[in-house]
Structures are given as structure tokens and as C-alpha cells.
Structure 1
Amino acid sequence: MRTVVLLLIMGIVDLSFGQRYSQLQWLSHLRGRRWHAGWQAEDVDCPLECDCPSTYPTAMYCHSRNLQHVPYVPSHIKYVYLQGNQITGIQDGVFDNATSLVWVVLFHNQLSSNKIGKNVFSKLKNLDRLFLDQNELTRVPPNLPKSITELRLGHNKISKVPSNSFEGMANLTSLKLQANDLEDIGGVFKGLKSLTLLDMRKNKLRKIPDNLPERLQQLYLEFNNIESVPAGFLTMYPKLKFIRLAHNKLTDKGLPSNVFNISMLVELDLSFNKLEKIPIVSRNLENLYLQANKIKEFSLSSFCGHKRDMTNFSQLRMLRLDANEISAKDIPAEAAYCLRRAAFIDV
């Protein structure tokens, strides 16, 4: 403090300097260059709590610093890393000076929905990735930028998602909502024209969400309470390649005939359910997980249909049937022709 006073008396420090910059900034200037974890920090525009290495001039590293607030973000910063702190809220205006932000990483904090301003992210027109997983959120933050391509909201306490939560987000390709308290999601995904990955594992869903985007390729619904798959489900979403429905309450009655017999499907996980039969799947399917069900019969027609010859065989490479009510002796000899591509079969 004596040093600061002395500098002011000597006229070395211009009093107007503190008017142009925040307190943290001018104090940072007085302290000069700093070192942390082997990186040399920039001398200009970097808050004391963070590191702005000269080797990555557009990045600001503030992770695992026991922070309770979001520090000032300089205008030239594009990537800000704030994970692993104790931040509980974000006030409107925090990012207004840094409208060029592309990544905002805030996972593993203590963010509360009622402490996040309504327009915190609205001015970030270039934002590409927003990571808000592992917090205390009870709802999706409002007014999210339409530029976002990856949004992570997993491991929160979200129980409802209003229909307009993702309105206009036509660029969103990956949405993660796993480990929340969702029971019914409605048609909230309908306008997400670019969405290819949807992760809703570990929720309380009783059915597969309606109005999924047509371009969806990966759908993860493990650890829910889903009892059935709608008839014609994969006809409505023909680009789906990976479907995971493990740890649900599926029964044979809940699977319409041929519901999974679609050529685009590459991986299907139905493990840890209540199935008694092997469902009919496409010959192009490569990975099928059926372990821990109640299957009593090995039905070769489920993989290759009733017509089997040297040119008509399954592309299946991985098949798991362990922890069911069948054994290796239940597999017919002609399975060697039908499942000739299989590299691993576990019963």
C-alpha cells in the first residue's frame, strides 16, 4: 500500500488510469508480470485471479482457484476456463466487454438458476460451446445465443424444460442433459435442425421424447423408466445410428415387431431390461448389447431373417447375451454362417 501511495505522490501513476480500467486491472499492472504453473502471464488485461499465457493470447485460465465470482474478462479473450470453483451466480453484464467469447467453461461450480441474470449470455453472438454441467441449476438459462453448437447441462437439478428454452438454436449439434430430474421433456427439441447427439441418461423419463430432430444420430437414454418404443420409431428418425436404452423397463410387449430393423442403425444397447426374446434387428447392425435380460431362446432369424444363404448374413461384430437364461449350447451350428463377421459373442 505504501508503494502505491508513493507512486501516486511522485506522479508516476496517472489517476485517470483507474477510471479506464477496473481495480483488478490497474493493480495487475502495478504488480507487473506474474508466473503460474510455468506460464508467463500477459502484462496487459489479465485479472489477478487468472492466467493469460502469452503462448495462448486469447485464453484465460481461472480454473480451480476457489473463486466465488466470475472475474473481469478482457475484450480480446475468446476462451475462458472457470471450472472447479465455487461460483454461485453470474450477474448481467459480466461478459458484456468480451463479446468475442467462443468457449465459456463453468462446469463443477455451484451455480444456482436464480442467481444467473436473464441476459448473461445473450450478447455473446460468437459463443460456440457452453459448459454448465455439474452445478445446482434447476432450469435452462434463458436467452442462450443461437450460435452455440455444444451445450452441456448434465448433472444438475433440472426438472422441467420450457418449450422455448432452445428456440432458434439451429446450430446446436450436441446437447447433454444427463443426470437431471426430467420426467417429461415434451417437444422442446423440435426446432433443433442440426442436433446429432442427445444425451438424457439418468433422468426419470417414462417414454422416449417426442419430436426429435430428423438429423439425430446418437440417442442416449440409459437409466430411465422407459417401458416401450413407439411403432415406426426409426422410420421417423432414419439417421439414428446409436441408440442406448440400457437400464430401463423394456419388455417384449413394448417393442413392436421390426422396430429396430432399420439399415442405418450401427449400435443398439438394450441391456439390463426385461426382454425375453431377441428383437429383430437390421443385418447392418454391428454392435448389439442384450446382457442382463430374461432371454430364453437364441433366435437366429432375429439377425438374418428366415432366408439364410452364403450371400445373406449379418454384419454383427459384437453380441452380448450374458446374464440371460441361455448358454453356448443354445446357439445353433448354422450361426457360424449367419454371424460370420462376429468378433465377440458372449453368452
Structure 2
Amino acid sequence: MQRVVLLLLIGIVDLTMCQHNSQFHWLSHLRGRRRHASWQADQVDCPLECDCPTTYFTAMYCHNRNLQHVPYVPSRIKYVYLQHNRITGIQDGVFDNATNLVWVVLFNNQLNSDKIGNNVFSKLKNLDRLLLDHNELTHVPPNLPKSITDLRLGHNKISKILPKSFEGMANLTSLQLQANVIEDVRGVFKGLKSLTLLDMRKNKLRKIPDNLPERLQQLYLEFNSIESVPEGFLTLCPALQYVRLAHNKLTDKGLPSNVFNISTLTELDLSFNKLEKIPVVSRNLENLYLQANKIKEFSLSSFCSAIDMTTFSRLRVLRLDANEISARDIPAEAAYCLRRVASIDV
């Protein structure tokens, strides 16, 4: 009997001592974090499934843990890494305790649109980067914060983008939607005033998206089913420098004259299409890719309107291989017009 009383007293003493410490004391013990007597609360509020190194006070690393849900996120955390897990859904309120989150990294999971709450991200007013690529999403999550600058939704199963999906996101600079099954976007990018990069490779687009933002600099549309380029396309996007339209269904009929003759353009990729002529391009263009088309003649006027010592193209890379021309089709005057090209692949 005396032994039982003694054990009870010891238990009460331990319980009393624990009450003076953090409520996460038991979790700290399980994780083996209590290395010294002077442990701090910020070292023990980290969930069991993750690591929160003291050297990176605001970061929580939960990647490659075979997780099926988003764990508790302490209020001090600004960067949470949850990639390469098996998370299928996120309920509303999961991030409500950590409204100062700046980065949420969730790529390479199994996220399903039907299992993501409508307001999961809505309270994250400081969110800068949201990485949701390589999941099972069928549409863009609703009520995304207007603070986001980098949004990655590539390699999902998105087929349609609702008109208000990006409403009010004036800070968004990079939007990645590659490798989905999108057929039409119907002007959803119109209000994205800061957007400089739009990646829509490997979708099912039949035309170039309309109402593209004026500040757009990089447009990637490879591996679609685009048959034509609209009149004045680059005039409406005066900042565009890189346009990639490789692996589409472009024909000469689908290219208005001078549509690519814009001085801001630096790189143009039209390879793997059905073009029979070299389109007219600006003398400021530096890289032109036309390989694997059906081009039958080398037209020097496509690069220089006049041939003299003062008028020449700034082109450095020109690829014409896998077409229906050979080196002998290149006129001698090309040495003047294309004097900056190191070599021409034919």
C-alpha cells in the first residue's frame, strides 16, 4: 500500500511540473528535441510529422513524409513545405492559425479539387507563392489571395478556368498552367496587370488566348493545336520578348503579314509546324527557330527590307533544319544581312 501511495505522489509531482511547461512537452519528448533543460516553446510547437529547425525560425519542413493530411501549422510559420506526400484534400480552417504564411509548397501530392475547401487560402493575406503543380486538380482553387505573385498549377487535370478564378490578382507575375487539358480561357487573364510570364504548354488550345496583359514578357504555348495568330497580336502585347509556338498547327494562311515584325521580340520559336515560308521578322530578333516545317525557299527579305552595309539583322541563332531547303538555297547576300549569325542550320 505504501508503495502505491508513493507512486501516486510521484505521478502528481510530475504532472504538476508538466503544467508549468508547454502543453507540447510530451511531443518534445517523443521527438527527442529536449536536448537541454533550457528548451524553448518555439522548438516544441512543431508537429510530430515535421521539422522546424531553430536556424530557420519561420520554416516548417514536412516533405517526403508520406503524409495524407496537412498537419497543424504554428502561428510563427511563414514557409511550409509539404511537397512529395499523399495529401488528397485540405479542409477550411487548416491555415487559420498561420495567417502570416508567405510560401505554401504542395506540389507532387494527390490533391483533388472536390476535397479542397472554398476558403482554404482566403485568409492568407501575405501569401506570395502557392505551388500546386503535379496534383489531380480539375479547376483553380477558389478565393485565392490577391497577394500571390507566383502561382503554379501545371501538371494537373484542369480543363476549364472560370471567369473569376484570378479576379483581383493584380500582383501575380508568374502563372504556370502547363500540362493540363485546357481548351479555352476566354479572357480570364485580362485583369492580371503585373503578369510577365504565362506558361500554357501542353494543353488543348486551338487559339492564342485573348486579352493578354500588356506587361507580359514571356508566352509559352508549345504543344497545343493552335492554327493561326490573330492580327496585331504583338501590338497588343508590346512588352513580349519570348514567344514559343512550337509543336502546333500553324500554316502560312494563319499568319497575318508582319505579325512578328515587332521590335521588342527577342526570341521566336515556330518549329514543328506547317509553315512553307519564312515569316517577316524584326531586325531586332536574336533567336529564330523554324526547324521541322515545310519551308521551300530562303527569303532574305524576311530578315532585311534592304541589303546594304548599314541595314542588317541582329539575328544570332537561325534554325531551318528539317525543311525542304538546303545550303545552296541561301543567297550570297545573306552574309551582309545576317552578319551576326554564327551558323545557319539547314
Could you say which TM-score interval applies, normalised by the shorter chain?
Answer: over 0.9
- Of 8, 11, 30, 1:9 maps to 11
Superposition pairs for residues 195-344 of structure 1, below 5 Å? 195-305=195-305, 307-344=306-343
Given that residues 130 and 152 in structure 1 are in contact (C-alpha distance below 8 angstroms), is that contact kept between their aligned partners in structure 2? yes
Q: Cα offset for 1:27?
A: 3.5
Question: CA 1:62–1:17 in structure 2 vs 1: closer, same or farther (change >3 Å)?
Answer: farther
The answer (yes or no) to whether the contact 2:31–2:48 under 8 Å persists in 1 is no
1:31 corresponds in structure 2 to 30
Deviation at 1:238, TM superposition (A): 1.0
Match of 2:345 in 1: 346
Given that residues 8 and 14 in structure 1 are in contact (C-alpha distance below 8 angstroms), is that contact kept between their aligned partners in structure 2?
A: no
Q: Name the TM-score, length of structure 1 as normaliser.
A: 0.92
Question: How far did residue 33 of structure 1 move?
Answer: 4.1
The answer to whether the Cα contact below 8 Å between 2:33 and 2:44 also exists between their aligned partners in 1 is no
| Contact 2:271–2:292 (Cα < 8 Å) also in 1 | yes
**Residues in 1 aligned to 2:245 and 2:207: alpha-carbon distance in whole angstroms:** 11
Which deviations, in whole Å up to 9, do the C-alpha atoms of 1:164-190 show, x marking residues without a partner? Answer: 000000000000000111101101000
Q: Cα distance, 1:55 vs. partner?
A: 1.5
| Residue of structure 1 equivalent to 2:95 | 95
Q: State the percentage of identical aligned residues.
A: 79
Cα deviation per residue 1:83-118 (whole Å; 9 max; x = unaligned)?
000000001111011111100000000000010011
Note the alpha carbon deviations across 1:276-316, whole angstroms, 9 max, x for none. Answer: 000000000000000000001011110112x1211110000
Counterpart amino acid of 1:297? E
Shift of 1:15: 10
Deviations, residues 118-170 of structure 1 (Å, cap 9, x unaligned): 11000100000000000000000000000000000000000111100000000
Taking the TM superposition and a 5 Å limit, the aligned residue runs for 1:67-86 are 67-86=67-86
- Work out the CA distance in 2 between the residues paired with 1:224 and 1:248: 5
Counterpart code for 2:345: D
Matched, 1:154 2:154: yes
Partner amino acid, structure 1, of 2:321: D
In structure 2, relative to structure 1, the CA distance for the partners of 1:331 and 1:7 (3 Å cut) is: farther
Aligned equivalents of 2:171 and 2:61: distance in 1? 27
* Counterpart for residue 38 of structure 1: none
Sort the Cα spacing of 1:166 and 1:7 in 2 relative to 1 into closer, same or farther, 3 A. farther
Task: Specify the SS of the correspondent of 2:235.
Answer: helix
What is the TM-score of this pair, normalised by structure 2?
A: 0.92
Q: 1:48, CA displacement in angstroms?
A: 1.0
Q: Report SS of the residue matched to 2:212.
A: coil
CA distance in 2, matches of 1:202, 1:268: 18
Q: Distance in 2 between matches of 1:6 and 1:292?
A: 83
| Contact in 1 for aligned 2:307/2:333 (Cα 8 Å) | no
Q: Is the 8 A contact 2:181 2:203 kept in 1?
A: yes
Structure 1: stretches of 5+ with no match in the other structure: 36-40
1:57 paired with 2:57, answer yes
Structure 1 CA distance for aligned equivalents of residues 117 and 154 of structure 2:
20
Q: 1:226 to 1:14 in 2, by over 3 A?
A: farther
Kept in 2, the 8 Å contact 1:151–1:174? The answer is yes
Question: In 2, Cα distance between the equivalents of 1:8 and 1:257?
Answer: 90
Q: What do you get for the CA RMSD once the two structures are aligned?
A: 2.2
Larger radius of gyration: 2
Change (3 A) 1:234 1:33: same
SS at structure 1 position matched to 2:140: coil
| Shift of residue 13, structure 1, vs aligned partner | 3.8
Shift of 1:249: 0.2
**Counterparts of 2:83 and 2:53, CA distance in 1:** 18
Deviation at 1:12, TM superposition (A): 2.5
Q: Which residue of 2 aligns with 1:121?
A: 121
Distance in 1, matches of 2:89 and 2:25, equals: 25
Q: Secondary structure at the match of 1:175?
A: strand
Three-state SS of the structure 2 residue aligned to 1:336 is helix
Distance in 1 (CA, whole Å) between partners of 2:294 and 2:97 is 59
Alpha carbons of 1:174 and 1:55: their partners in 2 closer, same or farther (altered >3 Å)?
same
Unaligned runs of 5+ in 2: 1-6, 35-39
CA distance in 1, matches of 2:144, 2:99: 13
